[in-house]
């Protein structure tokens, strides 16, 4: 029996302190929940190092937040305005917010938070912030180096920490002004939180939450045993039923797609890693793969029906261009495209070639990721009939770093911040971390991305984000340059007690953090 399952069901220790045995739902107070909805944060609960980036900070307030329609609304902010040149963001704060230690939240705390996040800069990208100043107790002013429409997303995802109590152990013992406060953290096992009685927003119905850190198998076993009110599950368990629980499938932009090396082979990175691939540098190859793949079959086969076909990095978000959707599963069209581009099977071995170049590739995926492995293998089979031979190979992330610029890679993205679109497709990010790994570059796309980034607001930027995807002539979508073959968006699946109402879930980002709790104030029992 695995440790996590042992702890929750039997209370045994196997060398670690046992968690308390969690009573069945009907025996618990109605204002308490036991949840298994995500992994334990490895670095703790400090927003200045990234906590809350993929979901609500829970313990901290943010200046702004997104509602269920993905519109930006106020949270700790009473309002904000942006100067005509887009460089000055002035935020007025609510004056009724207190941290859980009783101290008021002021502009000094906001200034400190963003300065600390900029200094840490491991996850929160504030490189464009020139300075942040507390104008008075309840007004804070951000000065940017250049206009940045996506700056509002940083105000959405960065929780405010108290200047007076942000010590070296803050990540372990966070103090904030969010809807809940941390009461107990048993590392490797659980976190217990209680509602913040002084919370300024809508008071949550549930007074106490216990969040268990369980493997997928253990979480499902806990659900079947009636020990949890809600549990995340993988698609492989979705066909099974659990008495007294329903399956909730939340749509996401938690996507998976194949990144193609966009340039021909020959160059190397400063680390000496090879760049480019002569096969995928041919647009006909990239487009043929895109057209031949049956995305709906991938959703039904690999994801057990719990997902959606993916066409871009940001399907369904406000900055998505619906014109990027195209007919797929069309082997005949894919073959014609290859023939027209000079790819033919001259020697009859089932693999097309162009001169001496054969259409053979190795598609890499992170070893241990069963979903990505299954998608890679299925995609390889789907393109075999059009004469493209793809081998699949699992590698560690360290190994992928050295090979991702010269081989196709099964990546996963999905952010509620459009800056991710910029980072993945701007030529400025070629070879930067895992971003533009294929060295994609298109001057017109770069111009659209820059216009989107420098727009005065998120709304003004929308048209430029959409044109970067496809303007009718070019773009980074499949109709344009096709530097990616996007495959699926993976639904986030949860087993939920029949009478537990988890509110209107907005489209979820990539599966880090606890995005399902982002609207925790809406949760209640159905009458």
121 within 8 A of 166, measured Cβ to Cβ: no
Among the candidates 170, 199, 234, a domain finishes at 170
pTM (2 d.p.): 0.90
Tell me the average pLDDT across 37-54. 91
Tallying the residues shown for the chain, one arrives at: 527
Return the pLDDT at 24: 64
- Confidence band, pLDDT 50/70/90 cuts, at residue 17: very low
Return the pLDDT at 9: 32
Indicate whether 187 and 134 sit together in one domain: no
Task: Give the C-alpha separation, 154 to 162, whole Å.
Answer: 18
Return the pLDDT at 13: 31
> Which alpha helices (H) appear in 173-330, and where do they start and end?
216-224, 283-292, 295-302
- Confidence band, pLDDT 50/70/90 cuts, at residue 68: confident
Per-residue model confidence as pLDDT tens digits over 314-368 = 999 999 999 999 999 999 999 999 999 999 999 999 999 999 999 999 999 999 9
Range of the structural domain that residue 134 is part of: 60-170
Per-residue model confidence as pLDDT tens digits over 189-239 = 999 999 999 999 999 999 999 999 999 999 999 999 999 999 999 998 999
- Confidence band, pLDDT 50/70/90 cuts, at residue 169: very high
DSSP E strand boundaries for 264-332:
267-268, 274-275, 307-309
Contacts of 214 (CB under 8 A, 6+ apart): 4, 5, 8, 36, 222, 231
Instruction: State the SS3 of 34-71.
Output: EEECCCCCCCCCCHHHCCCCCCCCCCCCECEEECCCCC
Q: Which CATH number belongs to the domain containing residue 357 in this structure?
A: 3.10.105.10
Contacts of 332 (CB under 8 A, 6+ apart): none
Among the candidates 135, 170, 205, a domain finishes at 170
Task: Give the C-alpha separation, 424 to 435, whole Å.
Answer: 5
Indicate whether 286 and 343 sit together in one domain: yes
Q: How far apart are the first and last CA of the chain?
A: 38
- Confidence band, pLDDT 50/70/90 cuts, at residue 123: confident
Indicate whether 123 and 151 sit together in one domain: yes
Q: Which CATH number belongs to the domain containing residue 129 in this structure?
A: 3.40.190.10
Domain count, the chain: 3
Per-residue model confidence as pLDDT tens digits over 438-488 = 999 999 999 999 999 999 889 999 999 999 999 999 999 999 999 999 999
């Amino acid at each position: 029996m695995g440790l996590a399952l042992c702890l929750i069901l039997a209370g045994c220790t196997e060398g670690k302190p046992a968690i308390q045995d969690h009573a069945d739902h009907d025996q618990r107070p109605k204002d308490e929940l036991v949840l298994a909805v995500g992994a334990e944060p490895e670095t703790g609960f400090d927003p200045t190092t990234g906590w809350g980036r993929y979901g609500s900070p829970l313990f901290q307030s943010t200046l702004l937040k997104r509602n269920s329609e993905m519109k930006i609304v106020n949270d700790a902010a009473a309002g904000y305005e942006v100067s005509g040149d887009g460089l000055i963001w002035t935020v007025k704060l609510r004056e009724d917010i207190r941290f859980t230690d009783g101290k008021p939240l002021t502009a000094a705390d906001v200034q400190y938070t963003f300065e600390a996040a900029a200094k840490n800069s491991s996850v929160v990208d504030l490189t464009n912030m020139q300075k942040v100043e507390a104008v008075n107790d309840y007004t804070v002013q951000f000065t940017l180096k250049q206009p940045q429409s996506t700056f509002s997303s940083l105000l959405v995802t960065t929780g405010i920490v108290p200047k007076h109590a942000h010590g070296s152990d803050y990540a372990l013992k966070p103090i904030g002004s969010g809807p809940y406060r941390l009461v107990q953290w048993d590392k490797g096992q659980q976190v217990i939180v209680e509602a913040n009685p002084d919370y300024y927003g809508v008071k949550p119905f549930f007074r106490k939450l216990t969040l268990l850190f369980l493997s997928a198998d253990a979480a499902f076993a806990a659900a079947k045993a009636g020990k949890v009110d809600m549990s995340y599950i993988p698609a492989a368990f979705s066909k099974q039923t659990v008495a007294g629980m329903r399956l909730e499938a939340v749509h996401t932009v938690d996507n998976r797609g194949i990144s193609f090396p966009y340039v021909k082979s020959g160059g190397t990175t400063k680390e000496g890693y090879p760049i480019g691939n002569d096969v995928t540098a041919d647009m006909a190859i990239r487009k043929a793969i895109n057209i031949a793949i049956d995305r709906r079959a991938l959703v039904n086969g690999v994801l057990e029906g719990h997902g959606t076909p993916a066409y871009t990095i940001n399907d369904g978000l406000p900055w998505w261009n619906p014109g990027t959707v195209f007919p797929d599963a069309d082997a005949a069209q894919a073959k014609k495209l290859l023939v027209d581009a000079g790819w033919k099977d001259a020697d009859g071995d089932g693999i097309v070639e162009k001169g001496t170049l054969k259409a053979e590739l190795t598609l890499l995926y992170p070893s241990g990721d069963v979903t990505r492995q299954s998608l890679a293998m299925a995609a390889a089979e789907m393109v075999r009939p059009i004469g493209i031979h793809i081998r699949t190979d699992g590698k560690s992330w360290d190994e992928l770093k050295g090979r991702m610029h010269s081989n196709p890679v099964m990546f996963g993205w999905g952010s509620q911040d459009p800056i991710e679109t910029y980072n993945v497709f701007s030529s400025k990010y070629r070879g930067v971390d895992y971003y533009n790994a294929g060295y994609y570059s298109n001057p017109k796309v770069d111009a659209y991305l820059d216009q989107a980034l420098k727009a005065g607001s998120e709304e003004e930027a929308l048209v430029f984000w959409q044109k970067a995807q496809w303007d009718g002539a070019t773009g980074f979508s499949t109709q344009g340059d096709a530097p990616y073959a996007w495959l699926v968006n993976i639904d986030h699946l949860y087993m939920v007690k029949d009478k537990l109402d988890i509110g209107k879930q907005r489209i979820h980002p990539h599966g880090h953090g606890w995005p399902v709790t982002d609207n925790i104030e809406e949760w209640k029992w159905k009458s």
